[in-house]
Amino acid sequence: MNVKLNFASPFIVGGIKQVSNYIESIDYIPGNVVRAAFARYILNNCFYYDPNEVVIVRGSKRKNWVYFKDKPKCAECRVRALCQKFDRIKFSFFYPEATKVIPSTVMVCKINPQHGFIDRLIQEPKCTKCEGGRGRVEFVSGFLKDGKNYSVIKSFITKTAINRYTGTAKDGALYSVLAVSATYKDKDYEDNVFVGQIQGLTPEELGVIDELRIGKYTSVGFGRCSISVEDEGQDILLDVKKVVQRMEEFDAKYKEYNGIDDANRRYFAIKFVSDAKLNFEQNGIDKYMSTDEYKALWFKALGIDLDVEIEKVYAEVINFRGYDTSKVEDDKREQPIHMVEKGSVIVFKTSLDFGNVVDYFGSIEGFGMDTSDGFGKFDYHFGGVC
């Protein structure tokens, strides 16, 4: 079901500390952050919650772990359904309302962004609306709304850390954050709404949550939000014929632009609509690789079992190492992974009919790890900012 997070206060999610006392929030909310907020809510409303309890999960010791205890008071607990279903709930990434992720192949005019977008896969890297028809263009990322590049509104906030023993201001602990404060704002009105999907719960079960706290610094008021379920009406089924038609149109444009004359090969592209945690094998990636070896590395990491080949990859990949606060040991760092950023585009070629391709890709929940937390989600890319 489609869900809205209606924020009553600014939030801070993720981000990298540029210096020791400054952090900027990212402009979207990963599914694992929403899951953590649900876990915190369940534990705070549990009759039997013990912050010192240690449980064994897949051979590791964990604290603050959500599991159904099945004790007498559990029968009357208001969050019983959330607790019982917690490990089966699926969360997507949450994005500003009415926005789309911009593909990494899209470029915009450097002189005048109002000239519109071009797609490097099927168009020349130039702005035809500039004088002479050869204006310079540059790659763009982020979000698109109403056909234009979109950014959330952020607020700069400075706070003083509190000494937990004296209850007074802590010396030398002034810190600043750049928090997401609104997704829309005019003179008299502002809104901070993010939308996504939650699967595995009914609207009634979700309705027991009066307020969530999402992200960092929730104890000092950041990240307060309510949840509302959108009226979806009837389920919208994938129109396979329409998708195949648009794939054929992209194939024709791609071949024409790239000078490909091969009727036995068809080209299509996908776009990651969320970050993806792909398992690139460590052995050998620290040395020079040929293009074919690099494509083979990507293909194996994607885990595709279909007669397709990777043609091109337009991707931003970062090394990421988060924290797991449920760990009991002092070192709460997770294992480092490769994170493919949202908007990344992969072009494939195949001799199969597009109908077979759509059937196969329709059976895939996502690529890589932690797909139940929204990572690795994708959509077809037909060129441009569609």
Give 49-108 pLDDT, tens digit per residue.
Answer: 999 999 998 888 999 999 999 999 999 999 999 999 999 999 999 999 999 999 999 999
- 267 and 342 within one domain: yes
Question: Is residue 152 situated within a structural domain?
Answer: no
**Which amino acid type is present at position 284?**
G
Question: Is residue 65 situated within a structural domain?
Answer: yes
339: three-class secondary structure by DSSP = strand
Does residue 161 carry a pLDDT above 80? no
- 172 and 34 within one domain: yes
Q: CA 121, CA 327: separation in Å to the nearest integer?
A: 45
Question: Is residue 257 situated within a structural domain?
Answer: yes
Give 7-44 pLDDT, tens digit per residue.
Answer: 999 999 986 666 667 889 999 999 999 999 999 999 99
CATH number for the domain that contains residue 256: 3.30.70
Question: Is residue 149 situated within a structural domain?
Answer: no
- 74 and 222 within one domain: yes
The predicted structure's pLDDT at residue 169: 75
Contact 252, 345 (CB under 8 A): no
Sequence-distant contacts of 34-38: CB under 8 A, at least 24 apart = 34/5, 34/91, 34/94, 34/196, 34/198, 34/214, 35/89, 35/91, 35/373, 37/212, 37/213, 37/214, 37/215, 37/223, 38/82, 38/86, 38/89, 38/91, 38/209, 38/212
Q: How confident is the model at residue 232 (pLDDT cuts 50, 70, 90)?
A: low
- Only one residue has tokens 């293009």, namely 291
Give 311-347 pLDDT, tens digit per residue.
Answer: 999 999 988 888 888 888 888 888 888 899 999 999 9
- 254 and 211 within one domain: no
The predicted structure's pLDDT at residue 234: 47
| DSSP codes joined into one string, 168-192 | SEEEEEEEEEEEEEESEE-SS-EE-
- Please measure the distance between the N-terminal and C-terminal CA atoms of the chain and give it in whole angstroms: 23
- 363 and 271 within one domain: yes
The angle, 0 to 180 degrees and rounded to 10, between the axes of the packed helices 354-362 and 240-258 is 120
256-340-320 Cα angle (round to 5): 160
- 85 and 134 within one domain: no
The predicted structure's pLDDT at residue 284: 57
Q: CA 164, CA 283: separation in Å to the nearest integer?
A: 46
Question: Is residue 337 situated within a structural domain?
Answer: yes
The predicted structure's pLDDT at residue 239: 84
What's the whole-number mean pLDDT along residues 109-132?
91
- Average pLDDT of the chain is 90
Question: Is residue 253 situated within a structural domain?
Answer: yes
- 220 and 274 within one domain: no
What is the domain count for the chain?
A: 3
Give the dihedral sign, CA 346/350/355/358: negative
- 258 and 212 within one domain: no
Q: CA 120, CA 107: separation in Å to the nearest integer?
A: 7
Question: Is residue 154 situated within a structural domain?
Answer: no
- 349 and 215 within one domain: no
Q: Is the pTM of this model over 0.75?
A: yes
Does residue 122 carry a pLDDT above 80? yes
**Which amino acid type is present at position 364?**
I
Question: Is residue 322 situated within a structural domain?
Answer: yes
The predicted structure's pLDDT at residue 171: 73
Cα dist. 7→113, 171, 317 in Å? Answer: 31, 32, 30
- 341 and 300 within one domain: yes
- 267 and 131 within one domain: no
Give the domain extent around 334. Answer: 240-381
CA dihedral of residues 212, 217, 220, 223 (deg, nearest 10): -30
Does residue 175 carry a pLDDT above 70? yes
- 82 and 208 within one domain: yes
The predicted structure's pLDDT at residue 305: 95
55: three-class secondary structure by DSSP = strand
CA 111 vs. chain centroid, Å, equals: 30
